[in-house]
A and B are shown apart, each in its own frame.
Chain A
Amino acid sequence: MKPRRRFMSLSAFLWLLLAAAYFIIPLFATLLISLKSNQTGKCCTAHNYGWVLHNGDFWHTLKISFLLALETIVISLLIFVPTIYWVHLKVPRLRPVIAFLALIPFIVPPIVMVVGLLRTFKGSPAWFYQQPWGFLATAYVILAFPYMFFSLDAGFRSIDVHTLTEASQSLGARWTTTLFRVILPNIRTAALAASFLTLAIVMGEFTIANLSAFHTFPIFIQYVNESQGFPAGAVTLMSFGITWFAMLSLLLVGRKRGQSGGVIAGAK
């Protein structure tokens, strides 16, 4: 009979406990704060959550940020999926150049970027310049570039783009058919990862929105933080929950995909 393997060594357990404490203690402290009454300062009441849920600004800014995130994701996917596909297929030598360009949003400070963008688009029409769906979405597409590029690039590198494309073409498929029916389903996990990273970034982006005077969800959180002590904890936890919900969705979708015939064969 095989000896039973120990589930986890003591040192591993201690490290895990330490790591968990690092994440859980601040969350727990925030939870405790969020449960204190804004009037009396005493624990425990769900009143702050009720206040947030009944606050019109919460829903309004959440909607703006969520729609902005969706817009950014759609625009980014429409731009970057065909571009990275083409680069992998036809001009692989350009890949390092694009990878370098993708790093620029990391290097350039947001304050510099927003000033540059405001100057660049100063003369643009009001529907673009004064609306979050125009100016802010453009800035967020730039901000999401590295996350989109590196996620999608990893996805494209995990499949044999050339062979799959040529196989599809030899069967009579056009470029668009090949992209949507052969390539895209096989980089779906990478595209989802890129999308959720973008979602998380847009939902939490403060600097650009603040400097360009748009009222988004992070601006609302900041406002609550400054004006309402204990409800701020509730808002923080709820925004954290929304982000985690998005990540969990990705995990579940990815796992489901893996069970129904993953992206293994045909990979390089």
Chain B
Amino acid sequence: MTFLQLENLHRDFGTVKALNGINISLGEGEFLSLLGPSGCGKTTALRLVAGFDRPNQGRILVDGKDVTNVAPNKRDMGMVFQAYSLFPNMTARQNVEFGLKIRGQHKHDRGKRVDDLLELVGLGHAANRYPHQLSGGMQQRVALARALAIEPRVLLLDEPLSALDAKVRVQLREEIRRIQLELGITTLYVTHDQEEALAVSDHVAVMYGGVIEQMGAPAEMYTAPATPFVAEFIGTMNRLDAVVIDGTSGEVEHSGLRLHVDAARGRRNGERVLVLIRPEALELEARTNGAAPNSFAGEVLTQTFLGPVTRLKVTGSGTSLIADMSTARAAALPVGASVVAKIPSEGAKLISLPDDGPGLPVLDPDDQ
């Protein structure tokens, strides 16, 4: 049953449409990540839910009640901010206690709740420290405890990990998920980090240009992107702009290269499509003789060591492909080696492109 509902939300800032009619339905206790590049409208959406801003159009419903015009201090929503937001004049304990004091909770109950929450976030020992005596990660844990203290109906997290270093980020995101599952709290999480979103969420909504491009389970977003933008944004994807040659057999053509793609079966001949292949789906081997069917011949241009896997960039005939393979196997294919990349007919996805429109949106590399 839907607990948090965003209905046709619009928000304009002058001529800029920050949100252009987004719809979200989230069940109680579910975790949804709003994922997208800078300026896509994800933080605007979160601020509308928090009540810090009002939509030009649309409604926000929590448990069936319209809260669109309710003041932020009456919404019962806990929020963790991107910037360190602890009150500098208060200790960690006083910060967590703040919301409970506002609610007039009895001192004894307050103390117990604060102790429990600080233990929950692993900071029982730092209760009497001031924010400037805590690390960034510790501050965000206190901020999380503070947001949870008021037993909010919805927990809102606005890129809470973006200021932290990589290791703490991974550690803390797992803790956020653990606590969210433990408390069963409905959570809306804003991030531009796809790995973070895919790792902790029940659902991911990818936003671009003020609209939701696709919403679904993390695995679905990764394996079956519905739009060229999602394909570009989630994970690394090889994209081949192609035309369906034979819709019956599933044959497409890209730069003179004919490929069999199962997903092309039933498509109209002449249809412009985007063939999407994940780097891990490509099989790369040393070229020995003539090109095999459904394969692409080229030369290794670069090798990037990523730990357990190595990423190889292969170019040839005006096309570039990226392939991930085990580091041990990649050692046999040094830069400059002639290789053949086998494109699996069943592993490739297809997205229709407008016949005369643009291909893919170009993303800022920082946003990926």
Interface readout for B61-105 with A: 1 if CB under 8 Å, 0 if not? 000000000011111111101011111110100000011001100
Q: A163-B84, A174-B73, A181-B98 are in contact. List 14 more A-B contacts (CB 8 A).
A: A160-B83, A164-B85, A170-B147, A170-B156, A171-B98, A172-B73, A172-B103, A261-B89, A261-B91, A261-B132, A262-B88, A265-B130, A265-B134, A266-B87
CA of A45 to CA of B336, assembled, Å: 99
Docked Cα-Cα span, A262 to B77, in Å, equals 29
Contact A177 B84 (CB under 8 A): no
A168–B90 Cα gap in the complex (Å)? 12
- Report A185-199 residues with CB < 8 Å from chain B CB: 185-186, 188
On chain B, the residues within 8 Å of A188 by CB distance are 89
On chain A, the residues within 8 Å of B131 by CB distance are 261, 264-266
Tell whether B212 is near chain A: CB-to-CB under 8 Å. no
A249-268 interface (Cβ within 8 A of B): 260-267
- Contact: B87 with A164, CB < 8 Å? yes
Does B146 sit within 8 A of A, measured CB to CB? yes
Check: A87 CB closer than 8 A to any chain B CB: no
Mind listing 29 A-B residue pairs with CB under 8 Å? A159-B88, A160-B83, A163-B84, A164-B87, A166-B79, A166-B81, A166-B85, A167-B79, A167-B86, A169-B51, A169-B71, A169-B73, A170-B77, A170-B78, A171-B78, A171-B102, A171-B147, A171-B150, A172-B74, A172-B76, A172-B99, A172-B103, A174-B73, A186-B88, A262-B88, A265-B139, A266-B83, A266-B86, A266-B131
Closest to B131 in A: A265
- A159 to chain B minimum Cβ distance, whole angstroms, is 7
CB distance from B141 to the nearest CB of A (A): 14
User: Which positions 118-132 of chain B face chain A at CB distance < 8 Å?
Assistant: 130-132
Q: Using Cβ atoms and an 8 Å threshold, which residues of chain A touch B86?
A: 167, 265-266
Query: Which chain A residues border B51 with CB–CB below 8 Å?
Result: 169
Please measure, in the bound complex, the distance between the C-alpha atom of A56 and the C-alpha atom of B81, giving whole angstroms.
59
Q: Given the complex of chains A and B, what is the CA–CA distance between A46 and B51 in angstroms?
A: 68
Q: What 1/0 flags go to B227-253 for Cβ under 8 Å of A?
A: 000000000000000000000000000
Pairwise interchain contact B72-A169, C-beta atoms closer than 8 A: yes
Q: Contact residue range for chain B?
A: 35 or more
Contacts of B134 in A (CB 8 A): 265
* Distance in angstroms between the alpha carbons of A185 and B98 in the assembled complex: 14
- With A166-B52, A170-B73 known as contacts, the answer to whether A264 contacts B85 (CB < 8 A) is no
- A265–B143 Cα distance when bound, in Å, is 13
Docked Cα-Cα span, A264 to B87, in Å, equals 10
Q: Which residues of B contact A267 (CB under 8 A)?
A: 88
Bound-complex Cα distance A168 to B81 (A): 12
- Tell me the bound Cα distance from A160 to B130 in angstroms: 17
Residues of B within 8 A of A264 (CB): 88, 131-132
Interface flags for B119-163 (1: CB within 8 Å of A; 0: not) read 000000000001111100001000100110110000010000000
- Residues of B within 8 Å of A186, CB to CB, are 87-89
Give the residues in chain B near A263, CB-CB below 8 Å: 88-89
- B282 adjacent to chain A (CB < 8 Å): no
Q: Min CB distance, A190 to chain B, in Å? A: 13
Provide the B308-350 mask, 1 if CB < 8 A to any CB of A, else 0.
0000000000000000000000000000000000000000000
- B50 sits at the interface (CB 8 A): yes
Which residues from chain B contact A163 at a C-beta distance below 8 Å?
81, 83-85
Interface-centre pick from A164, A168, A261 (highest chain B CB count, 10 A): A261
Q: Are A266 and B98 in contact (CB under 8 A)?
A: no
Let me know if A173 is at the binding interface, CB within 8 A: yes
When chains A and B are docked, how far (Å) is the Cα of A174 from the Cα of B103? 11
Report the Cα distance A218→B34, complex, angstroms: 65
**Interface: A182 (CB within 8 A):** yes
Partner of B99, one of A160, A171, A260, A262: A171
Please give the distance in Å from B167's CB to the nearest CB on chain A: 21
Residues of A within 8 A of B87 (CB): 164, 167-168, 182, 185-186, 266
Bound form: Cα–Cα A267–B84 in Å: 8
Expressed in whole angstroms, the Cα–Cα distance for A263 and B131 within the complex equals 9
The CA of A188 and the CA of B87, in the complex, are separated in Å by 13
Query: B150 to chain A: which residues have CB within 8 Å?
Result: 171-172
Task: Find the B residue at minimum CB distance from A263.
Answer: B88
Q: Is the CB of A261 within 8 A of B133?
A: yes
Q: Which residues of chain A have C-beta atoms less than 8 A from B146's C-beta?
A: 167, 171
Q: How far is the CA of A105 from the CA of B71 in the complex (A)?
A: 39
Quick check: B98 and A265 within 8 Å, CB to CB?
no
List A residues 73-120 near B (Cβ within 8 Å): none
In the complex, which of the residues B85, B103, B132, B156 contacts A160, with contact meaning CB atoms closer than 8 Å? B85
The residue from B72, B74, B84 contacting A166, defined by CB atoms under 8 A apart: B72
Cβ of A173 and Cβ of B84 under 8 Å apart? no
**Shortest CB distance B368–A (Å):** 27
| CA of A173 to CA of B77, assembled, Å | 12
B301 to chain A, nearest CB (A): 44
Cβ proximity bits B42-71 to A, threshold 8 Å, 1 near / 0 not: 000000001110000000000000000001
Once bound together, how far apart are the Cα atoms of A181 and B87, in whole Å? Answer: 9
Tell me the complex Cα distance, A264–B129, Å.
13
Taking A265-B139, A266-B87 as contacts, is the C-beta distance between A173 and B50 under 8 angstroms? no
Q: In the bound complex, how far is the Cα of B50 from the Cα of A164, in angstroms?
A: 14
Q: Which of B75, B76, B103, B132 has the most CB of A within 10 A?
A: B132
Which 5 pairs from chain A and chain B are nearest by CB? A261-B130, A265-B131, A171-B99, A264-B132, A185-B89
B310 CB, min distance to chain A CBs, angstroms: 42
Q: Tell me the bound Cα distance from A169 to B78 in angstroms.
A: 10
Partner of A265, one of B78, B102, B132, B149: B132
Measured between beta carbons, the chain A residues less than 8 angstroms from B132 are: 261-262, 264-265
CB distance from B232 to the nearest CB of A (A): 32
Query: A21 to nearest B CB, angstroms?
Result: 40
